[in-house]
A = this chain, B = another copy of it.
Amino acid sequence: MVLPVPQQRLLDLYRVMRRIRAFEDAAETASQGGVAAWGLAENATPAKVRGPLHLSTGQEAVAVGVCANLVRKDLLTSTHRGHGHTLAKGADPARMMCELFGRATGYNHGKGGSMHIADFSVGMLGANGVVAAGIPIATGAAHALKLRKQPNIVACFFGDGAANRGPFLEGLNWAQVYQLPVLFVCEDNRISATTPTGPMTAGKGVSARAKALAIASEKVDGNDVEAVDAAAARLAAQVRAGGGPRFLHAVTYRFKGHVSVDPGSYRDAREVETAKQSDPLLLARAKLLERGVPAAAVDAIDGEAGQEIAAALATADAAPWPQASAAYEDIMNTVTGAWR
């Protein structure tokens, strides 16, 4: 069955979104009951994923639509909610799952976990536990690319809440001043942990702020992966052509709580239900079917994603723990204990 090109692209985008969803769902399950976070008492039987887990469930279209316009040598900085970005940039779900399980074979050898998931080999420079901290790092990486005359760009993801932190201003100003190759992407899920972002944000939101710095921006439906893809394609091309930074404002929704152990009870249940009707996976699937792609073909992708993630879980489960001595590696002079 030969599909016309556009459907092939949407299928590809759908495939990555589905992989992310399956990964997040599996990680969430593996984290149940064991996280001593969010005011809960420490559990006697630790879950397989012990640490705080910020799920991007419902926001897959932003990561996927943007990263579809990046090449391997392009760079990316992420947030605390970084699984989607990492997978979309091309990381291996099994090595990611190993990291979440705290295994020696994880990307960070068990040193980072979910909040610091990274795959430098595909240019994914790391999730970050500090809101907005990726912004200056992204501008610096872009500055290096420009100084080194490399043809690549940096995608810098952050949330709506991050736009109220100082580094947002400092980083955007910097990128525009030096005309750096960075695509800023605001994943606007309209909430910051338990606080609606709107009332905490002055003015007409993030795009207005970018505009005040003369950074051209586009606003898109962040649940429509094709819309994100198209906008990212336009903006990334401008950035790549040396036009300086661009800004993408993608409006989306967080289906889950702030972390996996957060039931999110501060939100109206109906609001969540309504939002789920715009699930980016449902939207993409509907489009595919509407355009004549057989349901079986889409189902096959779902099945493959499920298998892939099941395999990742099995790999992670069987993977070795780090040695205690590894705690003294990746840092100067501590391996011998001499400088303890």
Contact = CB atoms under 8 A, between A and B. Distances in A.
Interface of A: 164-170, 172-173, 176-177, 199-204, 208-209, 211-215
Contacts of A208: 212
Contact of A176 (B167, B202, B209): B202
Contacts of A213: 202-203, 209
Given A166-B169, A166-B170, A203 B212 contact: yes
Going nearest first, the 9 A-B pairs with the smallest beta carbon separation are A166-B166, A176-B202, A212-B212, A169-B169, A203-B214, A202-B213, A203-B213, A208-B212, A173-B202
Q: How many copies altogether? A: 2
A203 B165 CA distance: 19
7 contacts: A164-B169, A164-B170, A166-B167, A166-B169, A202-B213, A203-B215, A212-B212
A215 B209 CA distance: 12
Contact of A212 (B166, B199, B209): B209
Contacts of A209: 169, 209, 212-213
Contacts of A215: 202-203
Secondary structure at the A interface, as helix, strand, loop or mixed, is helix
Contact of A177 (B165, B199, B212): B199
A176 B203 contact: yes
Given A173-B201, A173-B202, 16 more contacts: A164-B173, A165-B169, A166-B170, A168-B169, A169-B169, A172-B202, A173-B203, A176-B203, A177-B200, A203-B213, A203-B214, A203-B215, A204-B212, A209-B209, A209-B212, A209-B213
Contact of A165 (B170, B200, B204): B170
A48 to B, nearest CB: 39
- Chain B CB count within 10 A is highest, among A176, A203, A204, A209, for A203
Nearest to A170: B166
Nearest to A171: B166
Contacts of A199: 177
A128 B170 CA distance: 21
Contacts of A173: 164, 201-203
Contact of A204 (B166, B201, B202, B214): B214
Contacts of A164: 169-170, 173
Nearest to A164: B173
Nearest to A209: B212
Given A166-B166, A211-B212, A177 B201 contact: yes
A181 to B, nearest CB: 15
A77 to B, nearest CB: 17
Contacts of A167: 166
